[in-house]
Amino acid sequence: MTSEDITKSALRAVFAQTNSLPGVLSRPAKIMGGHGTITLVGGGEDIMDQCWDLAQTCEELWSRFLSESDISRLNWAEGQPVEVAPLTRQLIASMIAGHTLTQGAYDPTLLPDVISAGYQASVVDPTKTSSLPSSAQAPGHLEGIVFSDNTVALPLGTTLDPGGIGKGCAADAIADFALEKGAFGVMVELGGDIVVKGDAPDGNAWILGVEDPFDEDSHVSIVRLQAGAIATSSQLKKRFSDDQHHLIDPVTHRGATSAAQTVSVIAATGARAEVLTKRGFVDDEKTFLDWLPTVGAAGLIVRADRTIRTSANWSMYA
């Protein structure tokens, strides 16, 4: 047991004896093309500052709209090895794992298709754009990625799009970091993806809402999580025409055609929840919802007619 663990145990004993709860600190900020909020239970301003510094680091490493980011340098390396941060290696490993888990429904090598669909410029700063070398093709070749010491080499023609998994991985990293630094509990929300760990503000569970895609002031479900993540992907946002949006079907290479307007998934980590949502837009609805519990997840779909479908185990969290 570390000194930090001993300190936490001692403080918990004090709270238990006095029948009180540790303080809660929450701070919102703009990040990763949207908004985020970090909430700490039993953590101070110094830990909060460091958590947001880590979020900023993740964006600077992974944004395809920044030419010096690890991702941009990899995408332009034409098959040559590139020295990258450990966080970037973790991100790419999560991409590969997600591709395998979803049997290809999640494919981070479809960036050429995403750009062709109309998503070349940042939605928050249109002056920031991403471009690719002429060799770029979709799909790429994830299996050919080579890790060596502190470098990564993408096969010629393969490019990566951090997209939603970047938010999930960043939230996972920040949550782990906050607990390591001494917080009792933490909730990290980045662009709608939420990761929770440790003690909740009420001492029991984190209470989280799944937004109604047709009414942003309402929720279609309220869930309770003691630990884990919930991610939501939507085809209603980032639309470039009636049939083109940023959620690309790896078979047609166009925006996925599905009755599902939003797909929300509860899973162990933010990265895992994010990649699992993607299969909800390309699978038959029943097949997807029946499959999720077999991989330790639960799901909710909001359809175009505003009806809601859930996996059999969703009620465990609602």
Least confident span in 24-33, 237-246, 252-261, 291-300: 237-246
pLDDT of the residue at 234: 87
- The CATH number of whichever domain residue 77 belongs to comes to 1.10.3980.10
| Whether 238 and 302 share a structural domain | yes
Is 270 inside any structural domain? yes
Of 174-178, 233-237, 292-296, give the lowest mean pLDDT range.
233-237
Q: Same domain for 305 and 219?
A: yes
In angstroms, rounded to a whole number, what is the distance separating the alpha carbons of residues 201 and 268?
20
Contact (Cβ atoms closer than 8 angstroms) between residue 219 and residue 211: yes
Q: 185-243, pLDDT tens digit by residue? A: 999 999 989 999 999 999 999 999 999 999 989 999 999 999 999 999 988 765 455 55
CATH number at residue 297: 3.10.520.10
140 and 224 inside one domain: no
Rg (C-alpha) for the chain, rounded Å, is: 20
- Could you tell me if 302 and 210 lie in one domain? yes
- Structural domain count of the chain: 2
| 32 domain residue, yes or no | no
If asked whether residues 157 and 210 sit together in one domain, one would say no
**Residue 68 and residue 62: Cα distance in Å, rounded?**
9
Answer yes or no: is 73 within a domain.
yes
Integer Cα distance of 277 and 271 in angstroms: 10
Q: Are residues 212 and 132 in the same domain?
A: no
Which one of 161, 190, 213 terminates a domain?
A: 161
Q: Which pair of tokens denotes residue 33?
A: 């093309």
Residue 42 lies in a domain: no
In this prediction the pTM is 0.89
Residues 156 and 81 in one domain: yes
Q: Is there a single domain that holds both residue 209 and residue 153?
A: no
Q: Do 262 and 269 meet the contact criterion of CB atoms below 8 Å apart?
A: no
Full domain range(s) for residue 134: 64-161
The reply to whether 132 falls in a domain is yes
Average pLDDT, the chain: 89
Q: Quick one: 210 and 311 in the same domain?
A: yes
Q: What is the pLDDT of residue 128?
A: 85
Shared-domain flag, residues 302 and 234: yes
- Among 127, 161, 195, the domain-final residue is 161
State the CB neighbour count (10 A cutoff) for residue 78: 12
Is 197 among the domain residues?
no
Cβ–Cβ < 8 Å for 93, 236: no
Model confidence pLDDT, tens digit, residues 63-109 = 999 999 999 999 999 999 999 999 999 999 999 999 999 999 999 99
**What integer is the mean pLDDT of 104-118?**
90
261 part of a folded domain: yes
Instruction: Provide CB contacts within 8 A for 169, sequence distance 6+.
Output: 58, 87, 90, 91, 94, 270, 271
**Is residue 98 in some structural domain?**
yes
**Is the model more confident about 3 or about 157?**
157
Q: How many angstroms separate the CA atoms of 242 and 257, rounded?
A: 11
The residue among 128, 161, 194 that closes a domain is 161
- Please tell me whether residues 147 and 77 are part of one structural domain: yes
On the question of pLDDT at 156 being above 80, the answer is yes
